[in-house]
Amino acid sequence: MTATLLLQARTSSSRLPGKVLLPVGGMPLVVLAARRAGNTGHRVLVVTSHESSDDVLCDVLQNWSTDCFRGDLENTLKRFVDALEGVPDEHVVVRLTGDNVFPDGRFIDEMLEDFESRNVAYLCCGGESSGLPYGVSAEITRARFLREAHRNTDSSADREHVTPWVIRHYGRNTFDRYHARGMAQYRCTVDTLDDYLLVSKVFAGTGDPDYVPLEALLEKLKQATADIVTPVPAGRMVLGTAQFGLDYGIANREGRPGQDVVTSLVRTAISNGVEYLDTARAYGDSETVVGKALAGGWGSRVRVITKLSPLADCPADASPDVARAFAERSVYQSCHALGVSSLDVLMLHRASHQEAFGGAVWDALLGLQQRGVVGELGVSVQSPEEALAALEHESVCFIQLPFNILDYRWDEVVEKVAQVRRNRSVVVHARSALLQGLLTTDAEGLWRRARCANASEVGSWLRARAAEYTNGDVVELCLRFVFSQPWIDGVVVGVDTREQLVDNLIRSGAERWDDNELTSILRDRPRVSENTLDPATWETAND
């Protein structure tokens, strides 16, 4: 099949400026990407911008005898359409990017064969279903579909990302021939300095980098990536970071880890597919140490959820203007601590603040959202009643709630939450899957502090179910139970050590129990008091 390969590139990337000109395998990154993609004979055209910042790029391409087309910087879709001037509508177009050098001609030929045999309008490779690392990616469509998109869309996202309009109107089809490789948790794109160093290491000593088979590169990537510990991406695990800023958890004897440990834990979690970090203004130094851990481009690979200050220092009789000022101060303090200009997700730490001060706090957050300082808004709730009240607000996109294997309070609420989610996008994250570590301990004194009158019965039940379902591992029982809930999108799990992190990353990818198994696990579940389910009511060590 005849196709034109359009390789998108520019030098004005924000996280690693000029990355497409960095040397890999003895040549500029963009040149290597173009040569590998075209090594079975397809024409490759690097499409870049008219901006003066790309003059050097075009000079480099000319020196390396690589074809180049210059067009609109911001409207990448128009750039692609202009580059295709004169080709027939049915001509096949492959979209590639200059920071991904693993795709080679054979891989693209395999995709083209699949595209033709399935007779689809659009085919892509990427994501977990592909079985390939992030960076082994390509999109295939026809010239007429890109022209249709250009004529019919006013969306800036459509213009920037080229193919969303085509996907919406003609469907998304995925190339999954490599699904069995199971390498979706790996990464071989070049977006940060660490990415560049890794890719350079993979290509070092390969001889002729233009023609190294993709399979050989994948094996070298495995050998060069020591921090991948999961068989599947841990996308449903949310890394809790309260332990990074506080002495947190009833069973915690380790204390807070240092910055170097935090940085290693955060980056290992991200490398293994964790998509969210959870922190808060109230978690001591957590935001600051997390912000440092995400330096050097790591922040682009994960979304950070933080929570508004509990506003304990805001007078109870404060006017709406004063309350608004306290809320805005908290947001900007979080931005400063995390080292960002805007927050991905901001939650209320107290659900009552949605209505408090005449609604001034929530109004302040909505205003900050409109100004681009805050992305999505959510509420951290303590009870089913608070969750349902929060979801009445259409602007709430995230809910974080306490849930664990003993918590019966949510049984009657699940369907109501599901009904809301059928009408709009709401992400639900669960915390306290281990009830701050209580469920993992046999220490009678800790259970007494948690006001549990039937600790012996509860412990026996947990051990019996663990023996039946998880080879005696109570931690796995409790985590897997929550991970298996179909109404929960992510589970906040805190860690103190690398060993804990690795164990929990692997547990997050375990096969989910179905409804029948979940029902069986809960047979004769002992009832505990609501005080036991609410750590805020527990006795302190000094009580």
Q: SS3 string of 206-239?
A: CCCHHHCCHHHHHHHHHHHCCCCCCCCCCCCEEE
pLDDT level of residue 400 (50, 70, 90 thresholds): very high
Q: Which residues contact 441 (CB under 8 A, 6 or more apart)?
A: 250, 251, 447
Asked if 90 and 140 touch (Cβ cutoff 8 Å), the reply is: no
Radius of gyration of the chain (CA): 26
pLDDT at 540: 79
Q: What is the mean pLDDT of the chain?
A: 94
Query: CA-based angle 392:396:401, to the nearest 5?
Result: 90
pLDDT at 296: 87
pLDDT at 78: 97
Cα separation, 146 vs 95, in Å, equals: 11
Say whether pLDDT at 124 is over 90: yes
pLDDT at 224: 94
pLDDT at 410: 95
> pLDDT tens, 427-445?
999 999 999 889 999 898 9
The tokens of 458 are what? 């509860």
The tokens of 79 are what? 């750039």
SS3 278: strand
Asked if 465 and 477 touch (Cβ cutoff 8 Å), the reply is: yes
pTM of this prediction? 0.88
Q: Is the dihedral of CA 234, 203, 137, 7 positive or negative?
A: positive
pLDDT at 520: 96
pLDDT (average), residues 508-536:
94
Asked if 501 and 475 touch (Cβ cutoff 8 Å), the reply is: no
pLDDT (average), residues 289-301:
94
Asked if 514 and 243 touch (Cβ cutoff 8 Å), the reply is: no
Say whether pLDDT at 541 is over 70: no
pLDDT level of residue 542 (50, 70, 90 thresholds): low
Say whether pLDDT at 384 is over 80: yes
Give backbone dihedrals phi and psi of 419, rounded to 5 degrees, phi first: -65, -40
Cα separation, 320 vs 326, in Å, equals: 10
pLDDT level of residue 450 (50, 70, 90 thresholds): very high
- 248 sits in which H/E element: none
Asked if 336 and 369 touch (Cβ cutoff 8 Å), the reply is: no
Cα separation, 492 vs 148, in Å, equals: 43
pLDDT (average), residues 531-541:
88
Q: What percent of the chain has pLDDT over 90?
A: 90
Cα separation, 313 vs 259, in Å, equals: 28
Say whether pLDDT at 256 is over 90: no
pLDDT level of residue 16 (50, 70, 90 thresholds): confident
pLDDT (average), residues 294-298:
92
Our CA dihedral for 63, 65, 67, 72, rounded to 10 degrees, sits at -10
Least confident window among 9-13, 306-310, 388-392: 9-13
Say whether pLDDT at 15 is over 90: no
Domains defined along the chain, listed by start: 3-224 (3.90.550.10), 237-441+485-513 (3.20.20.100)
> pLDDT tens, 259-285?
999 999 999 999 999 999 999 999 999
Say whether pLDDT at 226 is over 90: no
pLDDT at 369: 97
Task: List helix spans (H) across 162-285.
Answer: 164-170, 193-203, 214-224, 259-271
> pLDDT tens, 146-191?
999 999 999 999 999 999 999 999 999 999 999 999 999 999 999 9
Hey, what amino acid is at 502? V
Number of residues that make up the chain: 543
pLDDT at 286: 97
> pLDDT tens, 63-80?
999 999 999 988 999 999
pLDDT (average), residues 318-333:
97
Q: What percent of the chain has pLDDT over 70?
A: 98
Say whether pLDDT at 483 is over 80: yes
Q: Which residues contact 216 (CB under 8 A, 6 or more apart)?
A: 206
Say whether pLDDT at 251 is over 60: no
pLDDT (average), residues 192-213:
93
Q: Which residues contact 434 (CB under 8 A, 6 or more apart)?
A: 404, 440, 475, 478, 479, 493
Say whether pLDDT at 466 is over 90: yes
pLDDT level of residue 247 (50, 70, 90 thresholds): confident
pLDDT at 239: 98
Task: Supply the DSSP symbol for 183.
Answer: -
pLDDT at 14: 78
